[in-house]
Amino acid sequence: MSTLLTGIGELVTNDPAHGAPVPLGGEAPGGGVAASGEGAGRLLGVVRDAAVVVDGGRVVWTGAAADAPAADESRDLAGRAVVPGFVDSHAHLVFAGDRAAEFEARMTGRPYTAGGIRTTVAATRAASDDELRTGARRLVDEMRRQGTTTVEIKSGYGLDVRQEARALRIAHELTPETTFLGAHVVPPGADPAEYVDLVVGDMLAACAPHARWVDVFCERGAFDADAARRVLRAGAAAGLAPRIHANQLGHGPGIEVACEVGAASADHCTFASDDDLRNLADAGVVATLLPSIEFSTRQPYPDARRFLEAGVTVAIATDCNPGSGFSSSMPFALALAVREMRMSPAEALRAATSGGAAALRRDDVGWLGAGSRADLAVLDAPSYLHLAYRPGVPLVRETMLGGTWV
Ligand code: NIG
Ligand code: FE
Q: How far apart are CA 123 and CA 138, in angstroms?
A: 18
Distance CA(206)–CA(202), nearest Å, equals 6
CB 125 within 8 A of CB 163: yes
Please give the distance, rounded to the nearest whole angstrom, from the Cα atom of residue 390 to the centre of ligand 2: 27
Show the domains of the chain with their CATH numbers.
3-85+366-405 (2.30.40.10), 87-359 (3.20.20.140)
Given this model, what pLDDT does residue 62 score?
Answer: 98
Q: What would the pLDDT profile of 339-359 be if each residue is shown by its tens digit?
A: 999 999 999 999 999 999 999
Give the tens place of pLDDT for each residue, 272-281.
999 999 999 9
Q: What number is the average pLDDT over the span 94-98?
A: 98
- CA nearest to 316, candidates 337, 285, 300: 337
Average pLDDT (18-26) is 74
CA distance 32 to 249: 29
Q: Which ligand is nearest to the CA of 323?
A: 1
How far, in Å, from the CA of 154 to the mean position of ligand 2? 8
Ligand nearest to the CA of 325: 1
Listed residues: CB within 5 A of ion ligand 2: 319
Task: Indicate the pTM of the whole model.
Answer: 0.97
> Which of 272, 262, 256 lies closest to 240, judged by CA?
262
Cα–Cα nearest to 320, from 183, 154, 160: 154
pLDDT at 34: 56
CA of 288 to the centre of ligand 2 (A): 10
Nearest to 184 by CA among 80, 101, 92: 92
279 annotated to a ligand binding site: no
pLDDT-based confidence at 187, cuts 50/70/90? very high
Indicate which ligand has the atom closest to the C-alpha of 297: 1
Q: Say if residue 386 carries a ligand binding annotation.
A: no
Say if residues 279 and 299 touch (Cβ distance below 8 Å): no
- Return the DSSP state at 115: G
> H/E element holding 304?
helix 304-309
**pLDDT given for residue 37 in this prediction:** 84
**Do β-strands 213-218 and 178-183 pair in parallel, antiparallel, or remain unpaired?**
parallel
Provide the pLDDT confidence category of residue 32 given band limits of 50, 70 and 90.
low
Amino acid identity, position 378: V
* Residue whose CA lies nearest to ligand 1 atom number 5: 324
H-only helix segments in 310-354: 330-340, 345-350
Taking the CA of residue 248 as reference, the ligand 1 atom at the shortest distance is 2
Ligand 1 close to Cβ of residue 45 (< 6 A): no
Q: What was the pLDDT predicted at 131?
A: 98
pLDDT of residue 114: 86
At 33-76, the pLDDT tens digits run 456 788 899 999 999 999 999 999 999 999 999 999 999 999 99
Pocket of ligand 1 contains residue 293 by CB under 6 Å:
yes
Q: Which helix (H) or strand (E) holds 405?
A: strand 404-405
Which tens digits make up the pLDDT trace of 294-303?
999 999 999 9
Return left, alpha or beta for 200; rule: phi > 0 is left, psi -120 to 50 is alpha, else beta: alpha
Whether residue 391 is predicted with pLDDT greater than 50 in this model: the reply is: yes
Q: Is 254 in the pocket of ligand 1 (CB under 6 A)?
A: no
203 pLDDT exceeds 60? yes
How far is ligand 2, taken at its centre, from the CA of residue 61, in Å?
Answer: 36
Range 401-405 average pLDDT: 98
Residues 99-119, mean pLDDT to the nearest whole number = 94
Q: In this predicted structure, what is the pLDDT of residue 115?
A: 87
Q: How far is the CA of 299 from the centre of ligand 1 (A)?
A: 14
pLDDT at residue 36, rounded to an integer: 76
